[in-house]
Amino acid sequence: MKNTPADTMLLRYKAPPTIARFMACPALYRGLLGPVGSGKSSGCCMELMARACAQAPGPDNVRRSRLAVVRNTYRELKDTTVRTWLSWFPEDAFGPFGLTDLCHSVRLPLTDGSRVELDVLFRALDRPQDVKKLLSLELTGAWINEAREMPLSIVEALGDRVERFPAARDGGCAWAGVIMDTNPPDSDHWWYRLAEETRPQGWAFFRQPGGLVEQGGSFVPNPRAENLEHLPPDFYQRRQSGKTPAHVRVYYCAQYGFVQDGMPVYPEFNDARHASAIELAPVEGLPLFVGLDFGLTPAAVIGQRLASGQWLFLDELVSRDMGMVRFAGLLGELLRNHYGDHKVEIWGDPAGMARAQTDERTPFDILRANGLPARPAPSNDPLLRREAVAAALSRDIDGLPGLVLSPRCVTLRKGMAGAWHYRRLQIAGEARFIDTPDKNRFSHVCEAAQYLLLGAGEGRRLLQPDQPDGPRQARSVNRARG
């Protein structure tokens, strides 16, 4: 392509206000969060090309860059990210795209007489083990598309690989960094922690307004929404029909949260009814009950039964890759510091009676050695465990729910709201689900809650026949499974 007026291509792009601030930021790590249709991916494409064109030229007047574009799977990489990139920078004008190595070799003359030589490497890095794929790369910068699907270890590894190309003799790096875009993740995601809580130096996060806002229990158009001129009329309003409120809040209102996937273990759980807006305090004079699940991800739930029969779940202790000795110490510290004046009953997974091959002590032995006299729950029947919790959720006590969660029970709340679920089978036709709940990071604390209620007698209430003159025990049926 000769550098003549007839061969000059004019590419027009006007960044929405939030994306314009994102593009102007010099931080090494930059994140862009927004609803669907807000122009995030297009903004990241334009940012990479603009940075490549502004790269310092070498002695031969060539502006060199090497960029990595990352997505969690190859299917999504090809179907979405690559298509968006090539829609802005087609091969006939910007250079060939290699289908084998997924590399776009951009060779572009500029009007000042310099030339851009840009290699864009498209890669799928959906597991922490894939970090090793990055160890040999020397990059100028990187873009992580839909960063909520990516482990933080990938982000950190990419940050270590940028600002390594081009060499100083070829002009050096006038810009280097990692840019990220995403729809809103859950509030316990690393994005939320960095963007809203710790806010480390060298990281900058930008949040676009939602396409809809929630007012009085309904969703209405947001006058501050961005990129509407490039969307069909009533784009967000027409798409909210038939969607769950959680879906609308995440994808259209750009709020942090999770969208339920699969069939929840507890369809009886109603977040507005069973989750308290204020922190619950233990009632003096009443004992505490603690439920425990073991393994390498031990979890505990602390609860209290009121005289009325209502259950309060006050607190949780959730771990990851932690041995029982350390977990027992943390649990003892939590009970002493926050619940020291209460009598405590501790009930655990009966499987904890088995000894490990490398240690003759059982989890219950370790707990007793730490001053925590735990006992195995009376049953490990999965159906009875589920029904014990479901019955408490279904119970109505003078207009109040039979079970209420304190805001301190963050992981338990999300698990009961649907993050702990029966996984959908990948078959055609009517939706079908596996028979047992998925084991994930929410399952351990939810099972701890089951052992708590079984140990406190909720299982016996289910199995005993109703007394003719006594109050009837609320029974529950998982109608979603029925």
DSSP 53-117: HTSPP-TTSEEEEEEEEEESSHHHIIIIIHHHHHHHS-HHHH--EETTTTEEEEEEE-TTS-EEE
Whichever domain contains 132, its CATH number is 3.40.50.300
Instruction: Give CA separation, 263 vs 23, 232, 366, 391, 404, in Å.
Output: 40, 33, 36, 18, 22
Which residues make beta-bridge pairs with 367? none
d(CA 80, CA 82) in angstroms, rounded, equals: 6
Claim to verify: residue 189 and residue 290 sit in the same structural domain = no
> Residue 234 falls within a domain, yes or no?
no
Question: How much is the pLDDT for 359?
Answer: 66
Whichever domain contains 402, its CATH number is 3.30.420.280
> Residue 47 falls within a domain, yes or no?
yes
d(CA 193, CA 429) in angstroms, rounded, equals: 40
Question: How much is the pLDDT for 222?
Answer: 97
- Please provide residue 356's backbone torsions phi and psi, each rounded to the nearest 5 degrees: -75, 155
Claim to verify: residue 343 and residue 458 sit in the same structural domain = yes
Claim to verify: residue 203 and residue 276 sit in the same structural domain = no
Question: How much is the pLDDT for 433?
Answer: 60
d(CA 391, CA 243) in angstroms, rounded, equals: 28
Contacts of 114 (CB under 8 A, 6+ apart): 57, 61, 62, 63
Question: How much is the pLDDT for 430?
Answer: 57
Q: What is the pTM of this model?
A: 0.72
Claim to verify: residue 424 and residue 289 sit in the same structural domain = yes
Last residue of some domain: 182, 207, 232? 207
Q: Tell how far CA 420 is from the center of its chain.
A: 13
Question: How much is the pLDDT for 126?
Answer: 62
d(CA 259, CA 440) in angstroms, rounded, equals: 16
Question: How much is the pLDDT for 426?
Answer: 55
- Please provide residue 105's backbone torsions phi and psi, each rounded to the nearest 5 degrees: -95, 100
Question: How much is the pLDDT for 127?
Answer: 64
Beta strands in 87-202 (DSSP E): 97-98, 103-109, 115-124, 141-145, 177-182
The residue segments making up the domain with residue 366 are 271-463
Under DSSP, the state recorded for 189 is S
Q: How many domains does the chain have?
A: 2
Claim to verify: residue 14 and residue 145 sit in the same structural domain = yes
Claim to verify: residue 284 and residue 136 sit in the same structural domain = no
Claim to verify: residue 88 and residue 181 sit in the same structural domain = yes
Q: Taking a C-beta distance cutoff of 8 angstroms, is the pair 326, 370 a contact? A: no
**CB count, 10 Å around CB of 96?**
12
Claim to verify: residue 435 and residue 299 sit in the same structural domain = yes
pLDDT beneath 50: ranges in the chain = 1-6, 357, 467-482
